[in-house]
Amino acid sequence: MPRNHHPHPSEVTPESVYLNRRAFIKRASVAGIGGALIAGGVVAKQRNAPRVEGTFDDELTPWETVTGYNNFYEFGTGKGDPKKNAQDFKTDPWAIEVTGEVSEKRTFSLEELIDGLTIEERIYRLRCVEGWSMVVPWNGFMLKDLIERLGPTEDANFVEFTTLMDRRQMPGQNSPILPWPYVEALRMDEAMHPLTIMVTGVYGKTLPPQNGAPIRLMVPWKYGFKSGKSIVKIRFTKRQPRTTWNEAIPREYGFYANVNPEVDHPRWSQATERRLGEFFRRDTLMFNGYEEVASLYEGMDLTRYY
């Protein structure tokens, strides 16, 4: 991943126009309670008020930055490319194949797959391996709820997510910068953790194409590259799947990719980060501040399993 974490000045919204968390919660509560959220063109149930997971004092990153400073190599490697190149990306209709170690292998429409799942608003950090971070109000449902619905077999130890392969719509797939399609995976206990969500919206709106429409993963304690976008296939496996960045540069990108200030990337430190919109770097927190996941890795050498 090229290390380019200097947003253009126009991407940094002045502090006065930041939507602060309190204002956001107020707005979201008014819109959310008893209401419904549009998710990938689907109206899903919403019962819960917005949840703030471990980011209580953090200001939200403005919409313009969240939707204008992206990593989505299928649409180009520049941070502004996805917004520019993904606008005509077709996300409706959308089908998702469910396969592997699962009781019923079949292809679902997005609507069928997520029908009735509870969409909530959760404010999560996104920490990129390149050293920048954002605080984003994602709209999504727990991956756990979906997995329970799909019924993986006892042999399912991992779950793999594959992004759409479509060279016509995704010009980046015409160059060999990565082995396509983009594939990421989680260990089953990571996938079942209540912090792990599937995202269908952001800031209360349908997810824009550049952020991974119509559906993407969000694993807030891991570096952003684990959170695959525009998912078309979910496969349950017995063995650890091959994943894109790990396959491309294994020494730099591990399977686990847990945010860890003590384990540096071979070419740069991971001890600090630059929150987009802020001037000074801040200390990076273990597991991106989501310490409740530490028990998943008890007894593992995190310098080896990076």
Closer to ligand MTE by CB, 65 or 101: give it.
Answer: 65
Q: Which residues contact 83 (CB under 8 A, 6 or more apart)?
A: 67, 68, 70, 208, 210
Asked if residue 73 binds ligand MTE (CB under 6 A), the reply is: yes
Among 61, 65, 71, 196, binds ligand MTE (CB under 6 A): 71
Does residue 193 bind ligand MTE (CB under 6 A)? no
Interatomic CA distance for residues 171 and 298, integer angstroms: 42
Print the binding letters for residues 125-164 with ligand MTE: x by CB under 6 A, - otherwise.
-x-x----------------------------------x-
- C-beta closer to ligand MTE: residue 101 or 246: 246
CA distance 34 to 38: 13
At a CB cut-off of 8 Å and minimum separation 6, what does 117 contact? 44, 45, 141, 142, 145, 146, 149
Q: What gap in Å lies between CA 28 and CA 30, rounded to an integer?
A: 5
The dihedral region occupied by 8, where left means phi > 0, alpha psi between -120 and 50, and beta the remainder, is beta
Based on the number of CB atoms within 10 Å of its own CB, is 7 exposed (0-12), middle (13-18) or buried (19 or more)?
middle
Chosen residue from 40, 68, 74, 159 binding ligand MTE by CB under 6 A: 74
Q: Interacting stretch for ligand MTE, rule CB under 6 A, among 53-61, 90-98, 140-148, 222-230?
A: 222-230
Continuous H helices in 67-159: 81-85, 110-114, 143-150
| Residue 214 is a binding residue for ligand MTE (CB under 6 A) | no
Identity of the residue, 32 or 212, whose beta carbon is nearer to ligand MTE in the bound complex: 212
Nearer CB in complex with ligand MTE: 70/270: 70
What does the block give as tokens for 157?
A: 């130890």
Q: Which is nearer to ligand MTE, 101 or 199 (CB)?
A: 199
Which residue lies nearer to ligand MTE by CB, 101 or 130? 130
CB of 126 to ligand MTE, least distance (A): 5
Which residue in 106, 123, 99, 82 sits closest to 213, CA to CA? 82
Shortest distance (Å) from residue 202 CB to ligand MTE: 8
Q: How far is the CB of 225 from ligand MTE (least distance, A)?
A: 4
- Cβ atoms 202, 137 nearer than 8 A: yes
Give the C-alpha separation, 86 to 74, whole Å: 9
Please identify, among the stretches 2-10, 23-31, 66-74, 83-91, the one whose residues bind ligand MTE according to the rule CB under 6 A: 66-74
Residue count, binding to ligand MTE (CB under 6 A): 17
Could you tell me if 38 and 253 are in contact, meaning their C-beta atoms sit under 8 angstroms apart? no
In the list 46, 61, 70, 139, the residue contacting ligand MTE (rule: CB under 6 A) is 70
In the chain, the amino acid numbered 247 is E
Give the rounded distance of the alpha carbon of 193 from its chain centre. Answer: 14
Give the x/- contact pattern for ligand MTE in 82-111, rule: CB under 6 A.
------------------------------
Residue nearest to ligand MTE (CB): 224
Residues in contact with ligand MTE by CB under 6 A are 70-74, 126, 128, 163, 182, 211-212, 224-225, 227-230
